[in-house]
Structure 1
């Protein structure tokens, strides 16, 4: 059984990404062999995040660990990512969401890209599209608002600066944010996280007025060129984003099962 392949690198990166957020917010976390959990705690019913990172021999041990964790953290809502697809969490009051592809892009050139920022500067719908890295608090706030409104993140509405992505994340090694603008107006964004072995891509978002105009592709190409292009890039694709990711060289490695509980178990 392969326990350190491309899928496991993607799993480890996602776990590290959530642990970085836990440090920035001051959230509790738990790390066990094959399992990482973050007690997201903006409000008491914020969904806690649980990620399985390695194959498990049998489901009973995972379910026992989950039972203990939910009790210890007084969990109301949670999201659990199971890229191995063996769990049935209905007895925990969770619903299985449609599986999503875990995709990996091996290192290599990105077509049409140079190596100097601004990485993209092109005519775009009558304006000029630029993509830059967000390197200060004000620009991180613009990224945050674009994700809240464009991804979207309904639980974070109305947007409050620093609520989802506090400026302290700029101090987390490997955490980077990318911002696309058309004539200075924010159009799209994404986050990347490099853990030394892979670079994960997260929350690729385009604001409604700019969807279908190539903004997400421009932002993502910039991130791929500048966020450690010598390492594999990983992401979990939505159905809307998957065609773009395939076009940019991402290949499906597995389909991850997400389980979501949205209220206290009755």
Structure 2
């Protein structure tokens, strides 16, 4: 069976032929989960949010939480970006994810930063997955800081590594029962981490990262299985870069299509 995003020729918001439009209905579940996650972090961090012209954003003025997402195919990219530039603090960089393939970021001065692939897993009745590793649930400030450092190294984000602890994972995020953060432990030391957010209808996977020296051991894959077990009756959703896409396919995730990440590098 062909994928909708591979069949439908898309057009940019200015009418020119652009990226293939991703029409898979599963994309809406990914957007809904991301919006619920943003609301949780906004409450934990006490920061601002924005939603207008088909985009939604969060700005905590710190690394990790200066991001936006297209929530519906944009009708006017220029107006959407103008609204985001007004919302975000003026000099800092921010990123925007477009899971629909309809956002003409280049015309508005954004830089194409990355392309990931969106995945969805629909659980099988009675299925219990074996993580195959030693794991530890994050439930205090110390482990939150450890998870944050692993994300900073795994995603090669020096700004996050240099930021004060709690810039990605504030202590109060653990007050939200929808949040689950796990660590994979090797020889007594944390080596990988993945976070999930359960919005009642789906489980979204976020910030899966492994220390450079511990890669190629299936650690994030084991953590993903453990998080899938926590909510066995709802689908699990993920967005993956090239390095881990094969893992999602191996687990039986269905590919929904590409998601484009745009960067606004800042105003000077």
Residues 1:30 and 2:34 aligned together:
no
Instruction: Pick from 109, 115, 121 the counterpart of residue 105 of structure 1.
Output: 121
CA shift in 2, pair 1:162/1:109, >3 Å: farther
TM-score by length of 2: 0.82
The residue number in structure 1 matching 2:95 is: 79
SS in 2 for 1:254: strand
Give unmatched runs, 5+ long, in structure 2.
Answer: 1-20
What's the Cα RMSD here?
2.7
Give the Cα separation in 1 of the matches to 2:50 and 2:30: 19
Quote the residue 1:19 is aligned against.
39
My pick for the range that moved more, 3-12 or 210-219, is: 3-12
The aligned counterpart of 2:190 is 186
Query: Structure 1 residue 146 and structure 2 residue 166: aligned?
Result: no
Per the TM alignment, residue 145 of structure 1 is displaced from its structure 2 partner at its CA by: 1.8
Matched, 1:42 2:46: no
- TM normalised by structure 1 equals 0.82
C-alpha spacing 1:41/1:2, structure 2 compared with 1 (3 Å):
closer
Question: Mean alpha-carbon deviation: is it higher for 161-170 or for 88-97?
Answer: 88-97
The structure 1 segments of at least 4 consecutive aligned residues displaced by more than 6 Å after TM superposition are: 1-4, 109-112
User: Residues 249 and 4 (structure 1 numbering): CA distance in 2 closer, same or farther, change over 3 Å?
Assistant: closer
Choose the corresponding residue for 1:176, options 173, 180, 193: 180
Partner of 1:229: helix, strand, or coil?
coil
2:250 paired with 1:230: no
**Does structure 1 conserve the Cα–Cα contact (< 8 Å) formed by 2:120 and 2:237?**
yes
5+ long unaligned stretches in structure 1: 121-128
Q: Would you say the 8 A contact 1:201–1:234 is kept in 2?
A: yes
Figure out how many residues of one structure are paired with residues of the other and give that number: 247
Moved more, 154-163 or 80-89: 154-163
- Please name the residue that 1:126 is paired with: none
Structure 1 residues 54-93: aligned runs within 5 Å: 54-56=72-74, 58=75, 60=76, 62-76=77-91, 77-93=93-109
Task: Indicate how the Cα distance of structure 1 residues 17 and 68 shifts in structure 2: closer, same or farther if over 3 A, else same.
Answer: same
